[in-house]
């Protein structure tokens, strides 16, 4: 039998911290950290694959889990969707847990829904806040019309993510939309509405 060595991962669990205003800087920070983690882990996977295959050993390599700690007032919807897509893609390779800390508001409420319910947690005093899209639209009539259509598209996309990934009643979502109000939710209520699975 060929000789082989097993290379271990540097970390048993990876941590990513997402905090502050959702914008291009936050998106870049998240992407950089994900690429750093994947680059390091891929080296381990490749070395072990070569070593174990040469020894004729059947194997399964399990990557470390990734814990994301999220705390934000919200921000840019486009950058929020970019971060959402990055995390969603990450779940295809890793077990990804999101821990909600302090405040999860506006665009931040979408980011946390990138992982399945059983991987969403909150600290006891976390506050969540949902509301409709807001913008300051200026310009000519044609510009206004195009912006309104884009906002309708984004609204429909956000609401579909809420409906598909939480237990928030459609009636409540429609009420928020019609009244254009902020809806604050405690960690306990977040668990009730299946926004999170557990308070930790």
Domain ranges of the chain: 13-38+63-199
Instruction: State the pLDDT confidence band at 127, using cuts at 50, 70 and 90.
Output: very high
pTM above 0.75, yes or no: yes
pLDDT at 33 > cutoff 90: yes
Tokens of 150: 């884009």
pLDDT at 111 > cutoff 90: yes
pLDDT of residue 143: 57
Average pLDDT of the chain to the nearest whole number = 86
* Percent of the chain residues topping a pLDDT of 90: 55
pLDDT at 75 > cutoff 50: yes
Averaged pLDDT, 31-50? 87
Averaged pLDDT, 72-99? 95
Averaged pLDDT, 69-90? 94
β-partners of residue 185 are 128
User: Rounded CA gap, 144 and 189, in Å?
Assistant: 37
Tokens of 32: 């950089």
Q: What is the 3-state secondary structure (H, E, C) of 123-166?
A: CCCCEEEECCCCCCCCCCHHHHHHHHHHHHHHHHHHHHHHHHHC
Give the CATH H-level superfamily of domain 13-38+63-199.
Answer: 2-enoyl-CoA Hydratase; Chain A, domain 1 (3.90.226.10)
Averaged pLDDT, 99-111? 94
């Amino acid at each position: 039998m060929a000789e082989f060595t097993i290379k271990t991962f540097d970390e048993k669990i990876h941590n990513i911290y997402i905090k502050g205003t959702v914008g291009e800087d936050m998106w870049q920070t998240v992407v950089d950290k994900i690429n750093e983690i994947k680059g390091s882990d891929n080296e381990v996977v490749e070395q072990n694959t070569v070593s174990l295959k040469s020894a004729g050993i059947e194997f399964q390599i399990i990557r470390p889990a990734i814990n994301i700690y999220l705390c934000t007032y919200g921000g840019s919807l486009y950058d929020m969707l970019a971060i959402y897509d990055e995390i969603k893609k990450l779940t295809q390779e890793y077990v990804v847990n999101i821990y909600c800390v302090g405040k999860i508001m506006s665009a931040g409420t979408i980011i946390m829904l990138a992982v399945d319910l059983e991987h969403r947690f909150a600290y006891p005093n976390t506050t969540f806040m949902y509301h409709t899209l807001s913008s300051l639209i200026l310009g000519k009539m044609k510009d206004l019309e195009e912006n309104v259509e884009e906002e309708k598209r984004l609204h429909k996309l956000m609401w579909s993510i809420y409906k598909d990934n939480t237990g928030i009643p459609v009636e409540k979502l429609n009420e928020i939309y019609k009244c254009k109000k902020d809806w604050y939710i405690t960690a306990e209520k977040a668990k009730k509405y299946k926004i999170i699975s557990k308070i930790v």
